[in-house]
A = this chain, B = another copy of it.
Amino acid sequence: MLHQINPGQTTIRPQVFNGSNASAPNISDDRLETVGTLMSYGRDEEIFGEGEVSARFYKVMSGSVRTYKILDDGRRQIVGFHLPGDFFGLEAGDRHTLSAEALCETNAIAMKRSAVLERASRNKSLFEKLWKITTLELSRSQSHALLLIKSAQERVQDFLLDMAEREASHGEIELPMSRQDIADYLGLTIETVSRTLTLLEKTGLIALPSTRRILLKNFAALRASQG
């Protein structure tokens, strides 16, 4: 089951979070997450579901999140992975157009949509920050579509390079997601992802010390678009 939740692991400890220095409150603080609620989620726990009323944005503080859509036939398309520092839940209407789940133990700040939008419409710096986040997300989504027309090997390579860059790790990736998650993000089957990783290892482009750890051994070759 894709939606499985482990109730035993789940712990939500909402608490008011104020990012600004309490002793020197700053009315023009330009951080989006200045006032929000810190939420904790267990592995595979749902943060929000497609169709639910969308009242909040989120910023990942620790852990990671997947956002996804389910097709009629049950297939799942992962729209994005959200690492610490990333925002998610930015959506047009008053209902979520996708679902979000924690990949592992995750802390995220939940911000009231209305409050953030209200503040952004009066604070130029905040507005610019929100604009940047949203258009960056748009750009990411467009690049994702570009990914989906490439060959399996290119998709996997691009994914590894993207993860390495986002984790700012110099060639050593710690994957927070399963092979199935990767497959659903790349529009491939789990078997193809696995085979491609094995092939990349045999070619010497990467090493696989454990399933969740990958070493990129040849950035240049990984970047070169291949079949």
Binding site for B on A (CB under 8 A): 69, 71-73, 75, 77, 79, 90-92, 97-98, 117, 120-124, 127-128, 131-132, 134-139, 141-142, 144-146, 148-150, 187, 225
Contact = CB atoms under 8 A, between A and B. Distances in A.
Contact of A121 (B97, B128, B135): B128
26 contacts: A71-B149, A72-B225, A73-B225, A75-B149, A77-B145, A77-B146, A77-B149, A79-B142, A79-B145, A90-B135, A91-B135, A92-B132, A92-B135, A92-B138, A98-B142, A117-B128, A120-B127, A121-B123, A121-B124, A127-B127, A138-B141, A141-B141, A144-B145, A145-B145, A148-B149, A149-B187
Contacts of A146: 69, 71, 77
Contact of A69 (B121, B135, B142): B142
Contact of A148 (B92, B135, B145): B145
Contacts of A69: 142, 146
A134 B132 CA distance: 11
A138 B67 CA distance: 14
Given A98-B142, A137-B138, A150 B117 contact: no
